[in-house]
Structure formats: C-alpha cells, structure tokens
Amino acid sequence: MAGLSLAGVGKRFGEHAAVSGLTLDVAAGEFVALLGPSGCGKTTVLRMLAGFEQPSEGHIRLGGRTLSDASRHVPPEERNMGMVFQSYALWPHMSVADNVGYPLKLRGVGGSDYRRRVGEALAMVELAALAERRPQELSGGQRQRVALARCLVASPAVVLLDEPLANLDRHLRAAMEESFRAFHRRSGATLVYVTHDQSEAMALADRIAVMREGRLVQWSTPETLYRQPHSEWLAGFIGQGSVLLLPGAVPGRWLEGDALMAAAEEAGVQGRGPVLVRPEHVRLGERGGLRARVERAVFRGERYELGLRLADGSALLAYSARRLAEGSTIGVTLDLGWGLEPEAGTPGRR
C-alpha cells in the first residue's frame, strides 16, 4: 500500500494562514494522529488530504501519485480515501447493512460481491448481528462503528478520522479506542486521526504530529513526545500538566538541596534552560532531598496524586502509593532527565 506525503503544505483563508509549511511522511499502514489545541489547523489538514480544500502551496502525494499541488487537484471521490466524522452522518431511513453498502451501490457493485463485502465490513466492526437495525436503534458507539464499516467497505488506502469520539462519553471512548485499534490491525489501512485529546492520540497512534497555530511543532512517537518534548509549551500540553521547569541556570543555584545538585549532575543536565520533571521522576521521603509541602492529596484509585510546593514556590506533581497528610512536609529528590527549549526557542531536536 501507498505511503502519504505532505511537502511544504500551506493553506490560507484570505489573509489568515490556517496551515503553514507542513511536511510529513506517513508510512503505508501507519496510524498517525494530528494533535493540537482548537484552531491549530488539524481539520484543515484533513480536508486538504480528503480533497475538500486545495492547498495554497506545497504538494500532497499518495504513493507516487500527486493528489494536490499548484496545478493539480484530484477530486475527493478519486483519492481512494475514506472519511469518518464525529457526527456519523448515517442515513436514518436505511438499515445498518444498507448504510454500510451505500458506497458500493454508488460504484455499481451488486449481487454476491455486494453482500460479501458488506458482510466482511460489518464483521470487522463486530456488528453483523445488528445488520437489519436502523441507526436510531443503536448506541453512539455502535453508530460510530457503522460509520467505520461504511468507510471500510470501499477498501480505502487511507482512512481520515475527524474527532470520531468527540460525541461519546468517557466510558465509551475507552471501548471505542479498542475498536479503532482492531480496525487498524484488520484493515491494514493508513489511518490519519484528528483529535485535540492528547491521551487519545497517545493511546492510539504510532506517531503523532503536534500542531500549533498552523505549524508542526513535533512529529514523533508518543513515547518520545512524552519523554522528550521539544519545547516548554509541548511539555505542558502532553502528559500530566504539572511539569517542573527549572528556568535559567544550574538547578540548585536557586533550589537548595545537595541531592538535587547530585541528581542534576548525574543526569548530565548542563544547567541551561528549563528541565522537564514528570511526576514519576519525583521520589518521595528522601533524606537530604528538597523540602516540599503537601498542598493536595487526591485519591486516584491505584495511587494518590500529590500537589507539592517547594521552598522557592515552584509547584510539583508527584505520585504516592499512600496518602500523605495535606500540610505535612516531606523530602523529595528529582530525577532530572531532559533539557527543554525555552518557550521562545524554536523546536529543533528529535
């Protein structure tokens, strides 16, 4: 199957640049997420991939074939792509099976071939038993699976998904994540999944393209994004919100504590720029560590989440297996691992 490539893609609406200089290479069969805050240009990218919008600059290719560039624009129906929206867009007067088979009817497929392909698509999303129901007799998750089957029935090379879980409650979203994983495994299609939910993107995608204000800020695996974000902004956007940024110079120049200095040296932190500390990098109850006051202890089932305050006023998030009294003081040491670009800096590292 064919890989998807975007080179220098931009889209302007009048004076406004919704997307600028976007370059991405997506391997055939890869599951990628476009992630970013509202208005960052994700949907515009998806619409350019689908062919609903023409890029103002750059080109989009699928395999060796150019889909869009300055002079060419292959229409949506000739792109071999399927699209799934958050609104499902199912026909209420048709059965589940007829909804799924609709794209085949449009292509003039009939008879046993039609029945076989509809049956296979329904089986893939585990809805064969509900084939004769109407969409309004289904749950939200089931409707979304019908939309997936309808997209799949035409065997697209690329499936574009625009916030497909946005209308579902939290419980159902987790179950549907599993459906998407299974769908990806069985179909072998290249999936491009737009979301503003970082945990959803991390759970599903092989690689994530994070966008901000129309530009790509990082393109990497979920693990790299979490552990080695390129910028302060990304560090806050991905993973638990509370990261400790030690701005400026050598940690310890302004945070007292020998243990912190030792940890910083051990981790090879040169003391330039802020340093990322995730909650799992905070060790509690250490002698000789920094003193921290427990401001908040929230029970999260498998652990407590602690809001700590260091002597210099910095906030820190930590995990603990046992409850610690709010207002108490403990020692902490920090496992300092990753130096970040300051907010004003340009992301440059992989």
Distance in Å from the first CA to the final CA of the chain? 27
Site for ligand ATP in 89-148 (CB under 6 A): none
What tokens does 325 get? Answer: 């009294």
**Contact call for residue 212 and ligand ATP (CB under 6 A):** no
Q: How far apart are CA 183 and CA 121, in angstroms?
A: 10
Using CB under 6 A, pick the residue from 6, 40, 161, 297 that binds ligand ATP. 40
**Contact call for residue 13 and ligand ATP (CB under 6 A):** yes
The CB density around residue 153, as the number of other CB atoms within 10 Å, is 25
Single out the segment in contact with ligand ATP by CB under 6 A; choices: 34-42, 74-82, 170-178, 339-347. 34-42
**Residue 243 Rama label (left phi>0; alpha psi -120 to 50; beta):** beta
**Contact call for residue 36 and ligand ATP (CB under 6 A):** yes
Single out the segment in contact with ligand ATP by CB under 6 A; choices: 40-48, 107-115, 232-240, 275-283. 40-48
Q: How far apart are CA 271 and CA 277, in angstroms?
A: 14
Which residue is listed with tokens 């792109």? 79
**Which residue number, 16 or 170, has a Cβ lying nearer to ligand ATP?**
16
Site for ligand ATP in 41-60 (CB under 6 A): 41-44
Q: Could you tell me which residues come within 8 angstroms of residue 330 by beta carbon, excluding any fewer than 6 positions away?
A: 284, 285, 291, 292, 294, 308, 324
Single out the segment in contact with ligand ATP by CB under 6 A; choices: 36-44, 118-126, 246-254, 311-319. 36-44
**Which residue number, 53 or 232, has a Cβ lying nearer to ligand ATP?**
53
DSSP assignment string, 20-42 = EEEEEEE-TT-EEEEE-STTSSH
**Contact call for residue 38 and ligand ATP (CB under 6 A):** yes
Contact pattern from residue 170 through residue 199 relative to ligand ATP, giving x for each residue in contact according to CB under 6 A and a dash for the rest: --------------------------x---
What tokens does 50 get? Answer: 């689908």
Under 8 Å between Cβ of 67 and 74: yes
Binding site for ligand ATP (CB under 6 A): 13, 16, 18, 36, 38-44, 196
